[in-house]
Structure 1
Amino acid sequence: MRNFLPLRSALFLGLVASVAMAHGREPNVGSIYVRGRPNEWVRRLNVTPEAVTVLRFQQPCDKEGTKILGWEGRFEPVECAGKKVLIEPLQALHPEDRFLMVVKLADGTEVPFTLVRATRKEGERPDQQVNVFVEPDTRESLQKDLEETRKREEGLVESVRRFHQEDTADHALAKLLATGDIKQTPFRLLKKRVLKSEGEETTVRIYKGKAKAAVLFTVKNLDPSKPWNLLEARLVTIRPGDTPEPYVFGDKRPFALRADRDELAPGESGNVAVVVDRNAFKTENGNAELILEIYREDGWRQAYVVLDERLTRE
């Protein structure tokens, strides 16, 4: 991605397209438990060219019997490495694409899979590592199943907690911005910039409001084959004189975020809206500048905006 120098106003803001890498993410690791005859039903795998999907079995795989049907030009040749099978698409799959893969194990067992395009939707994130238990009643698989059940329960509890935290007036305002109903909000457009970078065009709009500020990122996916997804947004303090490049390590501040869609296909555009309350600028030493960052799915910081408390004044 191409760098842009910050366009910083003496009063309010700076914004830039950036290539800083996001902080570490936990890999998407899951398990499949094959009960009954392994070839009675087909398991689904969500794959992406952004990551290699690794299947881990309890016994070695048979290289000659492990194959993807119609893979030519769409995947790297499937690899068997001991008890592991490596799957790597060469390009993003289309939503309607379905590829059948059969893994043959050393004892002759064949396990079928369907390879589909990974998205940001719940349950469709890229499968990075999948542990496949063909004998699911062993002690190892039962222990793994118990661990994953506990993680799912913890995730559900966290989702409920987050839902209640995000049911606020600021989140309602962010949703109005993301869906284009700006006239229904108290915000007034202060500045607009268009940032062009490799694979995206980002229009950044900064809004001024009574006791609140807002930023609307409109992203157009210019990549001919890969979808665009938002990984995360961060709002942290920045000390006077500090540079936002390449990383910012300030204190995290609260904000409300809404997006109008989960994923942008090639050529599509979408909105990410953020609302910041005046209280977010307050620190023990007075009001601080804040930096709002957005990161795309592959971990690169796409853009940032430096915000001043004066955006929240009448």
Structure 2
Amino acid sequence: MRPLRYTLPAVLLATAALAGETRDRPSVRSVRLVAPPNDTTHRVHVRGRIVTTLRFERPVDAGKTKLLGGEGRLEPLAVVRDKVVLEPLHDLDAQEAIPLVVTLVDGTEVSFLLRPPDPREGAPTDQQVDVFQDHESTTALHAALMDALRHNRSLLEESERCRAEEASEDHALAALLASGALAQTPFKVVDRIYGEDESTKITARVFQGKNKAAVVFDIKNLATDQSWSMRSARLTTLAEGHERAFAFRATAREISSGQSGVIALVVDGSAFVEQGALTSLWLEIYRDDGTRQAVVQLDPSLLAR
């Protein structure tokens, strides 16, 4: 077996979670405070080297706005009129939480808890959080409408994706490969590649099929204190870097410590065509913390005629 091309340094990317092929939209959401303000603590999802802005309806008192702990974990707080700007120096640990108290010039205190995004919840990194006290203001009502429209759009996209996958031959093949039912597919194994670091062991099987290719990743989580999940997979042409679609199935969204899981991807032959000629593809797997976990080159020779 030849070594899996394996990348250990953290590589942050803006692709959607799991097998989404679209880039992340800017993550803007709203927080509405009860009247009068109570002791509720609002969670904010932050990520290393990504700026998160909290925006309020009233100016912020910089002298009374502070982090409670987390020294050396974030750049110094920046307060600009009605905004608080946060930037962690590194990703927070999975169980880490840093309290933040923001005090407005009218004396109102608002408590936040800075946390890393949880892949199990599907929550993105917050790029901007708009905090409203006056629920009836034009700005607050507009934000509520935008939140509702975004939620509705997300539900429609998910529904359409599910309908398309139900009718997709490639998704059915990916499901069979993930479950281990290779005999029920037209694929044959043509290569096995592997890689390992301190937290993950991966074996990749590369398959040839009739005008299709496939890759199955067998993943074992070697970490003793955290689960493994895939943040995204990307398939691009080697020469131009154009993104290509693929079918995806996994045996589990999350692999517990010491356990194993399977990820299967099926690529149609049309994905190998660029400007009328066959080209190689670059398949990348990223885990939930943004680390590029594995890279596999797929060549047109995988397409059996």
Please indicate the TM-score interval, normalised by the length of the shorter structure.
0.7 to 0.9
Q: d(CA) in 2 for partners of 1:138 and 1:194?
A: 57
Q: Residues 91 and 116 of structure 2 are in contact (CA less than 8 Å); yes or no, is this contact kept in structure 1? A: no
Q: 1:192: which partner in 2?
A: 192
Tell me what 1:214 maps to.
214
1: CA distance, partners of 2:50 / 2:260: 24
CA contact (8 A) 1:278 1:312 kept: no
Secondary structure at the counterpart of residue 105 of structure 2: coil
Quick one: distance in 2 between partners of 1:269 and 1:126?
27
Alpha-carbon distance, 1:69 to partner: 2.7
Distance 1:105 1:301, change over 3 A: same
Cα deviation, residue 73, structure 1: 4.9
SS where residue 62 of structure 2 aligns? coil
The partner residue of 2:248 within 248, 257, 260 is 257
Q: Percent identity?
A: 33
* Residue 45, structure 1, aligned to residue 28, structure 2: no
Deviates more, 1:171-180 or 1:56-65: 171-180
Aligned amino acid, residue 275 of structure 1: V
- Which segment is superposed worse, 116-125 or 191-200? 191-200
Instruction: State the partner residue of 1:136.
Output: 135
Q: How much does 1:108 deviate?
A: 0.6
Kindly indicate whether residue 67 of structure 2 is the aligned counterpart of residue 68 of structure 1. yes
**Shift in Å, 1:113:** 1.7
CA 1:141–1:132: 2 relative to 1, 3 Å: same
For 2:141 and 2:276, how far apart are their aligned partners in 1?
53
1-structure distance, mates of 2:111, 2:250: 36
Q: Structure 1 residue 303 and structure 2 residue 295: aligned?
A: yes
8 A Cα contact 2:207 2:302, kept in partner: no
Tell me, yes or no, if structure 1 residue 204 matches structure 2 residue 187. Answer: no
* Superposition deviation, residue 161 in structure 1: 0.5
5+ residue gaps, structure 2, are 15-22
**1:289 corresponds to which residue?**
279
Cα deviation, residue 47, structure 1: 2.1
Matches within 5 A, 1:38-117: 38-89=37-88, 90-95=90-95, 97-117=96-116
Other structure's SS at 2:303 match: helix
Q: Distance in 1 between matches of 2:162 and 2:300?
A: 29
Q: Which residue of 1 aligns with 2:232?
A: 231
* CA distance, structure 2, for counterparts of residue 150 and residue 27 of structure 1: 15
CA RMSD in angstroms, aligned pairs only = 3.9
Cα distance in 1 for residues equivalent to 2:153 and 2:231: 23
Give the Cα separation in 2 of the matches to 1:92 and 1:218. Answer: 28
User: Could you tell me how far apart the structure 1 residues matched to 2:264 and 2:162 are?
Assistant: 17
Q: Secondary structure at the match of 2:162?
A: helix
Q: Tell me the CA shift for residue 130 of structure 1.
A: 0.9
Structure 2 contact 6–294 (Cα < 8 Å) conserved: yes
Secondary structure of residue in 1 paired with 2:63: coil
Asked if residue 146 in structure 1 is aligned to residue 145 in structure 2, the reply is: yes
Contact 1:49–1:92 (CA under 8 A) maintained in structure 2? yes
CA shift for structure 1 position 67: 2.4
Q: Where does the alignment leave 5 or more consecutive residues of structure 1 unmatched? A: 1-6, 8-14, 237-243
SS in 2 for 1:166: helix
CA shift for structure 1 position 157: 0.9
3-state SS of paired residue (1:59)? coil
Q: What one-letter code is carried by the residue in structure 2 that aligns with 1:277? A: D
TM superposition score normalised by structure 1: 0.72
Asked whether the equivalents of residues 22 and 301 of structure 1 are also in contact (C-alpha less than 8 Å), the reply is no
Structure 1 residues 130 and 206, CA gap change in structure 2 (3 angstroms): same
- Structure 2 distance, partners of 1:104, 1:215, is 52
Which residue pairs with 1:170 in the alignment? 170
Tell me the distance in 2 between the aligned counterparts of 1:128 and 1:268.
33
Secondary structure at the aligned position of 1:45 is classed as strand
Aligned-pair CA distance for 1:308? 1.6
